[in-house]
Structure 1
Amino acid sequence: MNVEEDIQLLAQEIRRLGTPRPDGSVSVKFGVLFTDDRCANLFEALVGTLRAAKKRKLLKFDGELLLQGVHDDVDVILL
């Protein structure tokens, strides 16, 4: 798979697991994404896919790199 396909799949998974916000975006906690079985099977490098999507301004989250455990409560927002 290429990066663009992974980003599209990630957006679908965020919509599936996340909560819609009043501004039309969707928010999900990083820990929810990271521990979801379906996401674990889809993404070999979830953190890399998150960073690529953020670089393309499709996602927003605090920090540059999210780590399991430390950043489980960080909101990942699909714009």
Structure 2
Amino acid sequence: MNVDHEVKLLVREIQRLGSKNDDGQTSVKFGVLFNDDQCANIFEALVGTLKAAKRKKIVRFEAELLLQGVHDNVDIILLQE
């Protein structure tokens, strides 16, 4: 699948599941994204899509590698709506 297309889908899912933080940016916890049934059906490799979006400076998160359980409370912040 096309990485740019997957990143666009990721942005849409973050907007659907997230909420605005104090800076007015949309934010969602990694655990919320990872455990959402709709996201599970869309993304074969959610972590890989997140890493691609981070490289493109579309999202920001404070971890090199996101692991389910360990990083469930890490905020994924949408930098580009």
Alpha-carbon separation, structure 1, partners of 2:22 and 2:70: 28
Separation in 1, partners of 2:55, 2:25: 17
Cα distance between partner residues in 1 of 2:64 and 2:55: 10
Q: Deviations over 1:27-74 (max 9, x none)?
A: 000000000000000000000000000000000000111000000000
Q: In structure 1, how many angstroms separate the alpha carbons of the residues matched to 2:37 and 2:18? A: 15
Please, which runs of 5 or more residues in structure 1 have no aligned partner? none
Q: Cα offset for 1:25?
A: 1.4
Counterpart amino acid of residue 73 in structure 1: N
Which amino acid in 1 is paired with 2:33? L
Q: CA RMSD in A?
A: 0.8
Match of 1:77 in 2: 77
CA distance in 2 between partners of 1:38 and 1:12 (Å)? 11
SS of 1:16's partner is: helix
| Residues 1-79 of structure 1: pairs in structure 2 closer than 5 A | 1-79=1-79
TM-score, normalized by length of structure 2?
Answer: 0.93
